[in-house]
């Protein structure tokens, strides 16, 4: 059974700082996804990582995948308040298993 663990679950950052969210998964996975969820909203797709060593960047967010370590990271560079949200990673092929989510708060 695929299990996905994220850490930290809660993250309070200052604007301008850098931080990394970690996502570990227990068994081989075809793909690794990162999503953002704002309060009361659905999921917004950020990245899908398809192979070992994959790195994708969009604005202040960069995601990477190490399939040998079964680890993905979401790195936040120079955080701004607009990044405050809950971030989920999910692993699997088409049937996704989600991590618990990381609730990120960026403080001025």
Partner 1 sequence: SAVISQKPSRDICQRGTSLTIQCQVDSQVTMMFWYRQQPGQSLTLIATANQGSEATYESGFVIDKFPISRPNLTFSTLTVSNMSPEDSSIYLCSVNRDPQETQYFGPGTRLLVL
Interacting residues with partner 1 (CB under 8 A)? 30-31, 33, 35, 41-43, 45, 47-48, 50, 88, 90, 93-101
Rg (C-alpha) for the chain, rounded Å, is 13
Closer to partner 1 at the Cβ: 25 or 33? 33
Between residues 16 and 59, which has the closer beta carbon with respect to partner 1? 59
5 to 16, 22, 77, 82: CA distances (angstroms): 27, 8, 22, 25
Task: Report how far residue 104's alpha carbon sits from residue 15's, in angstroms, rounded to the nearest whole number.
Answer: 12
Residue 78: Cβ-neighbour burial (10 angstroms; 0-12, 13-18, 19+): exposed
**Minimum CB separation from partner 1 for residue 89, in Å?**
10
Supply the minimum distance, in Å, between the C-beta of residue 95 and partner 1: 6
**Smallest distance, partner 1 to C-beta of residue 70, A:** 18
């Amino acid at each position: 059974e695929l299990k996905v663990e994220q850490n930290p679950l809660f993250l309070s950052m200052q604007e301008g700082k850098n931080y990394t969210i970690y996502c570990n998964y227990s068994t081989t996975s075809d793909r690794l996804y990162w999503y953002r969820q704002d309060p009361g909203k659905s999921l917004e797709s950020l990245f899908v990582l398809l192979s070992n060593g994959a790195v994708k960047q969009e604005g202040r967010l960069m995601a990477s995948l190490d399939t040998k370590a079964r680890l993905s990271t979401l790195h936040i560079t120079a955080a701004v308040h607009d990044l405050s949200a809950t971030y989920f990673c999910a692993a699997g092929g088409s049937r996704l298993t989600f991590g618990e989510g990381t609730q990120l708060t960026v403080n001025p």
